Amino acid sequence: MNENHLHTRILHADSAPFDENTGIAPVSLPAYRTSTVRFKNLDVLDDVMARKSKGERLVSYGISGLETHRALERVINMMEQGTYCLLNPSGLAAIHLTFMSVLSAGDHVLVSDNVYGPVRIMNDTLLKRLNIEVTFFASDEDPTGLIRPNTKMIYIESPGSLLMQMMDVPAIARIAKAHNLILAIDNTWGTGFYEPLRLGADISVIAGTKYINGHSDVMLGAIVTNREDLAQNINVTQYAVGNSVSADDVWLALRGVKTMGVRLAHHTQSALKVCEYLDKHPKVSRIYFPAWHKDPGHELWKRDCGGGANGLLSVSLNCSPEAARVFVDALQLFGIGFSWGGFESLVQWVNTNTLKNHSYWKEHEKALIRLHIGLENVDDIIQDIDQALAKIPG
């Protein structure tokens, strides 16, 4: 029999085990909370610590979590085709831990210019102070010429933050492998259908805050890899830094991930209908959404994402940034906020000054809006967007 679809496997993964005495089990695994872990004897303790030193995710102290954490890590490994997963308090914490686990003072890292904005803040406030040098490169650029003797890692995001650029991950992976570099990728947008480790990446970073949880009530991150050496580095660095995730937050994510398949399908279907509407509107100059057939990255999306998408897209408007603010304030069903991936629709007015280093952003395009198309009725969403666009001056 063929293996079940990923979303079916997620739905049935890590259910609570049956009680050996009663034969009864709850549907959902409970949240195991503790700070202290007991060991039956010293031999058990020695065995656990020896296996942990090799990167195994075993329980030894509350800071690394208990069975609730292991269950979510197994689910994320399933989605990412990974063998090692470590949870973090947020997506940004996972990015930070990735850099700290791989890089040392004097190292150089290549970073695509389309990454999540706080990565630049991390560079300005932390990496420079630690004598770790960053060179940004365009998402459609071959970074080979930027590699130095002390380059250690290539870090990318695909699709990119805000402008949704698809990057050729297999091609960049070949460059990284040829120069003995680590390739890490932010896979938050593609969680649940995009498998960068299969495409050649060494590390996949995810903000579980978004679609894994799906209800906008949890901060969560994860790092996934198939490499035992990287797993050991990440494991020991996490312990040294002391990052910890609440068992209750992990339980909420385990609950949320069960419905991710149906949520993603609904988000995608609605987002594509919104794209069809926006494409015909005179006040819209461009749509940034890889699943949309007119997006420049559509062919890469078809090749690498297996037809999977979600509800996050960006729109360039034919107006000034100030006029775009009128549009944002006129929306009624969209909350104004920076996150996405929950059940609700959200809108973000983008300060286009922050896009000056993005290779795809053109000078004549002045206004950019990011939309997360939620689970509301799509006709209601389109009607809301329509009335808000009508209020743009001029």
pLDDT averaged over every residue in the chain: 93
Give residue 234's pLDDT. Answer: 94
- Residues 105/235, Cβ–Cβ less than 8 Å: no
Check residue 9 and give its pLDDT. Answer: 86
pLDDT value, residue 2: 57
**169 and 50: one domain?**
yes
Angle in degrees, CA 298, 300, 303, rounded to 5: 110
Please report which confidence band the pLDDT of residue 1 belongs to, taking 50, 70 and 90 as the band edges. very low
Phi, psi values for residue 286, rounded to 5°? -160, 150
What is the predicted pLDDT for the residue at 364? 59
Does residue 384 form part of some domain? yes
Q: Is residue 394 part of a domain?
A: no
Residue 15, CA atoms < 13 Å, CB-side half-sphere: 11
The DSSP secondary-structure symbol of 243 reads -
Domain membership of residue 1 (yes or no) is no
Please, which residues have CB within 8 angstroms of residue 342's CB and are 6 or more apart in sequence?
210, 213, 214, 215, 216, 372, 374
Strands (E) across 32-169 are located at 84-88, 108-112, 133-137, 151-157
> Edge-to-edge strands of the sheet including 151-157?
84-88, 221-225, 203-207, 182-186, 151-157, 108-112, 133-137
Are 152 and 108 in contact, with CB atoms under 8 Å apart?
Answer: yes
Let me know whether 280 and 236 are in one domain. no
Does residue 106 sit in the same domain as residue 253?
Answer: yes
- Clarify whether residues 31 and 130 are in a common domain: yes
pLDDT of the residue at 198 = 96
pLDDT single digits (tens) 281-338: 999 999 999 999 999 999 999 999 989 999 999 999 999 999 999 999 999 999 999 9
Residue 304, domain member (yes or no): yes
Whether residue 58 lies inside any domain: the answer is yes
In a domain, residue 206? The reply is yes
> What tens digit of pLDDT does each residue of 129-178 get?
999 999 999 999 999 999 999 999 999 999 998 999 999 999 999 999 99
Higher pLDDT, 320 or 18: 320
- Enumerate residues 6+ apart whose C-beta is below 8 A from 104: 132, 152
Nearest CA to 333 among 393, 265, 379, 394?
379
Q: Which domain holds residue 313?
A: 260-389
What's at 307, amino acid-wise?
G
What percent of the chain shows pLDDT beyond 70?
Answer: 98
Can you tell me the distance from the alpha carbon of 246 to that of 69, in angstroms, rounded to the nearest whole number? Answer: 9
| Averaged pLDDT for residues 92-112 | 98
Same domain membership, residue 187 and residue 166: yes
Looking at 226, 257, 288, which one is the last position of a domain? Answer: 257
Given a cut of 80, is residue 360 above it in pLDDT?
no
Residue 182: pLDDT band with limits 50, 70, 90? very high
Give the mean pLDDT of 1-22: 79
Tens-place pLDDT, residues 34-84: 888 899 999 999 999 888 777 677 888 888 888 899 999 999 999 999 999
Tokens representing 238 are: 């996490």
pTM, to two decimals: 0.93
Q: Is residue 144 part of a domain?
A: yes
Same domain (yes/no): 12, 159: yes
Q: Are residues 167 and 234 in the same domain?
A: yes
Q: Which of 237, 257, 277 is a domain's end point?
A: 257
203 and 265, same structural domain? no
**109 and 214 together in one domain:** yes
Residue 107: give its domain's CATH number: 3.40.640.10
Residue 337 maps to which CATH number? 3.90.1150.10
296 in the same domain as 197: no
Q: What is the mean pLDDT of residues 86-111?
A: 97
Tell me 89's DSSP state: S
DSSP conformational letter for 340:
-
User: Does 285 map to a domain?
Assistant: yes
| Residues 59 and 197 reside in one and the same domain | yes
Q: What is the pLDDT of residue 365?
A: 67
pLDDT of 188 over the 80 cut: yes
Among 189, 224, 257, identify where a domain stops. Answer: 257
Cβ–Cβ < 8 Å for 358, 163:
yes
Cβ neighbors of 205 (< 8 A, separation 6 or more) are: 91, 94, 95, 98, 184, 185, 186, 187, 188, 221, 222, 223, 224
> How far is the C-alpha of 17 from the C-alpha of 225, rounded, in Å?
27
Give the Cα separation of 194 and 122 in Å (integer): 26
Are 172 and 249 in a shared domain? Answer: yes
Q: How far apart are the first and last CA of the chain?
A: 61
Give the total number of structural domains in the chain: 2
